[in-house]
Amino acid sequence: MGDRVSTLIEHGDQLFQKRGQLMSLWQEVAENFYPERADFTAKRTLGEEFAAGLNSSYPIVVRRELGNAFSAMLRPRSEPWFNITIDREERLDRDGKAWLEWATGVQRRAMYDRPAQFIRATKEGDHDFAGFGQCVISHEPDLRQNTLLYRCWHLRDVAWCETYNGSIGTIHRRWKPYARDLMSLFPGKTDPRVAQKLEQNPWAEVNCRHIVMPADQYEAPVGKRWRTPWVSIFVDADHHHVMEEVGLHESPYTIPRWQTVSGSQYAYSPAAVAGLPDARLLQAMTLTLLEAGEMAVRPPMIATKEAIRGDVAIYAGGITWADAEYDERLGEVLRPVTQDKTGIPFGLEMAAQTRELLGAAFYLNKLTLPPADREMTAFETSERIKEYIRTALPLFEPMEIEYNGAICEATFGLLMRGGAFGPPEDIPESIRGADVQFKFKSPLHDAVERKDSQAFVQSAELIATAVELDPTAAAVVDVRKALRQALSGVGAPAQWMRSEEEVEAFAEQQAEQATLEQQAQAVAGAAQAAEQVGLAQQANQAA
């Protein structure tokens, strides 16, 4: 046991040691863009001013705007931002779509349950993602409150390595809980020395490790075999004691990575990489402009030492006393140094350009579709949306796939195994055995859906024009299928739409009713004709 625990701790120490230089980079990024997180290589104390060494707050503002935009645009609380679907949507029937919509509501309520702390964890993760290109969010069932629990962990305390296929494998997280909390979380499983430590100091901390690794890479204890893909190990690092070893169906950590480079398991923020030189430049320029402005308002003075009585008072309302016998023809007793102030407007212009570059580095000019300056045709609108998709894709795609998608998939697995979706036999036949996937609502997908709906409108216009030339042109497009796809694209609930069988029966009913109406009209026409013939015969007889 001792050798196995020592090997685990040594492996984690190597992972933390190898990323030492990266910690320095993260510290530099944090000091410029995220001073609240600037404790990678420095230790913060409560009450310490975060941005004491900065001259401009604009780099912090651009990071804050990008971090807030992630949740506002990709996870809006006011509307459902994800939908559960399957890999082969053509298999879905009306019952399957209705069940998926119901399951989406169940998962949404579980994620936004207040004890789950989903909003807090993702808010912290969004700003780590914007500043450092990655974040660490854990998701697990909280059995005490019968709910889920999401938490965001400091990048300083987590290290990981990749598997052969580039996915994240073993994860080590450093953790320093209080001794009393540790004994409460693992009753009867802690080392006896933890209880002794608690008696000596109620606020004593214990160095612990949480290790998650693939089961095939971990040596199982004698007589134990893992039947799950992952293993979770809680280790008391101070006493080399394993407190818990359990198998997991999926990793409890989601680590979305923005921009990766070959040869490193850690990602980078393209916004911070591009904006860091401009942030340093802006701080230096702001300091220079502040000094230049202060010198312009309160310029340095030249004083005649022999003629001045006392100190030079250049503050508002100050009086400087001079010798009455001093001859002014020799020069003024107190006079400002001549300065050239023409460079200040040029400096302000350069600072404004630097702030604009910082905003572009943090994608602030790519977050929304620019408003149209004039009325556009359908083709112009479509091309404009295509251009927006091309520019916004690098920003939204990693967030949707590795961030939102990973958290939603892990949450779905936890809820499914916890029985939140009811018994498996209640699942419709069209869903059983299919791979669950998630579709997200974002400006990118909104633009794509608008593109599809615009194509439907354009097709309708073309068909209307073609029918005037050839009435059979209306049969080219399957209107029912196109309409279903267009309605699904704009987010129409499945309960609003009839099934294909119901629509077919309705169409047959309409056709049958139309046939009956035609027959009735024919009978009515024949009766009217017979009546007219009878009247004509009566008229002839009378004549």
User: How confident is the model over 401-418, as a mean pLDDT?
Assistant: 91
Residue 183 to residue 441: CA distance in whole angstroms: 43
pLDDT at 295: 79
> Is pLDDT of 417 > 80?
yes
pLDDT digits (tens, 9 = 90+) for 233-250: 999 999 999 999 999 999
Is there a domain that residue 93 lies in? no
> Is pLDDT of 151 > 70?
yes
* More confident of the two residues 148 and 345: 148
Residues 136 and 196 in one domain: yes
Residues 184 and 320 in one domain: no
pLDDT at 20: 87
Q: What b/e sequence results for 279-293 when a residue is b if at least 16 CB atoms lie within 10 Å of its CB, and e otherwise?
A: beebbebbebbeebe
Residues 249 and 309 in one domain: no
Is there a domain that residue 538 lies in? no
Residues 235 and 316 in one domain: no
Is there a domain that residue 454 lies in? yes
Q: What are 242's two structure tokens?
A: 């394993």
Residues 201 and 313 in one domain: no
User: How confident is the model over 257-276, as a mean pLDDT?
Assistant: 92
Number of Cβ within 10 Å of residue 123's Cβ equals: 16
- CB of 154 within 8 A of CB of 30? no
pLDDT digits (tens, 9 = 90+) for 182-199: 999 999 899 999 999 888
Task: Give the position of tokens 């195994």.
Answer: 417
> Is pLDDT of 411 > 80?
yes
Q: Mean of the per-residue pLDDT values for the chain?
A: 82
DSSP state of 373: S
Is there a domain that residue 526 lies in? no
In terms of C-beta density within 10 A (0-12 exposed, 13-18 middle, 19 or more buried), how is residue 262 classed? exposed
Q: Which of 90-94, 339-343, 479-483, 489-493 has the lowest mean pLDDT?
A: 489-493
Q: Which pLDDT band holds residue 230 (cuts at 50, 70, 90)?
A: very high
**Domain span including residue 180:** 2-44+51-71+112-268
User: How confident is the model over 300-326, as a mean pLDDT?
Assistant: 71
Residues 322 and 209 in one domain: no
pLDDT digits (tens, 9 = 90+) for 317-361: 677 777 766 767 667 777 777 677 777 888 889 999 999 999 999
Residues 321 and 467 in one domain: no
Number of Cβ within 10 Å of residue 153's Cβ equals: 21
pLDDT at 438: 87
pLDDT at 485: 67
User: How confident is the model over 279-304, as a mean pLDDT?
Assistant: 83
User: How confident is the model over 520-543, as a mean pLDDT?
Assistant: 64
pLDDT at 356: 92
User: How confident is the model over 163-177, as a mean pLDDT?
Assistant: 93
Q: Which of 195-199, 242-246, 443-447, 454-458 has the lowest mean pLDDT?
A: 443-447
pLDDT at 374: 67
User: How confident is the model over 418-422, as a mean pLDDT?
Assistant: 89
pLDDT at 395: 74
Residues 243 and 315 in one domain: no
pLDDT at 285: 92
The residues, any chain, with a CB within 8 Å of residue 115's CB and separated by 6 or more, are 142, 145, 147, 149
What is the count of structural domains for the chain?
Answer: 3
Q: Which pLDDT band holds residue 105 (cuts at 50, 70, 90)?
A: very high
- CB of 155 within 8 A of CB of 268? no
- Which residues are 230's β-sheet partners? 214, 248
Residues 139 and 195 in one domain: yes
pLDDT at 251: 92
- CB of 70 within 8 A of CB of 126? yes
Amino acid 166 reads G
> Is pLDDT of 412 > 90?
yes
Is there a domain that residue 367 lies in? no
Say whether 148 sits in a helix, a strand or coil. strand
The last residue of one of the domains, among 334, 354, 386, is 334
User: How confident is the model over 251-263, as a mean pLDDT?
Assistant: 92
Residues 403 and 319 in one domain: no
Q: Which pLDDT band holds residue 314 (cuts at 50, 70, 90)?
A: confident
The last residue of one of the domains, among 244, 268, 292, is 268
Residues 240 and 145 in one domain: yes
State the virtual CA torsion across 154, 155, 157, 160 in degrees, nearest 10: 140
Q: State if pTM tops 0.95.
A: no
Residues 118 and 165 in one domain: yes
- CB of 9 within 8 A of CB of 235? yes
Helices 378-398 and 443-469: crossing angle, nearest 10°? 150
Amino acid 507 reads A
Q: What b/e sequence results for 206-242 when a residue is b if at least 16 CB atoms lie within 10 Å of its CB, and e otherwise?
A: bebbbbbbbeeebeeeeeeebeeebbbbbbbbebbbb
DSSP state of 329: G
Is there a domain that residue 356 lies in? no
Say whether 342 sits in a helix, a strand or coil. coil
Q: Which pLDDT band holds residue 480 (cuts at 50, 70, 90)?
A: low
pLDDT at 449: 58
pLDDT at 527: 62
Is there a domain that residue 352 lies in? no
Please choose, from the candidates 345, 350, 362, 360, the residue with its C-alpha nearest in 3D space to the C-alpha of residue 284: 350
Is there a domain that residue 78 lies in? no
How much of the chain, in percent, has pLDDT values that exceed 90?
Answer: 38
Residue 499 to residue 496: CA distance in whole angstroms: 10
User: How confident is the model over 204-219, as a mean pLDDT?
Assistant: 91
The last residue of one of the domains, among 497, 512, 528, is 497
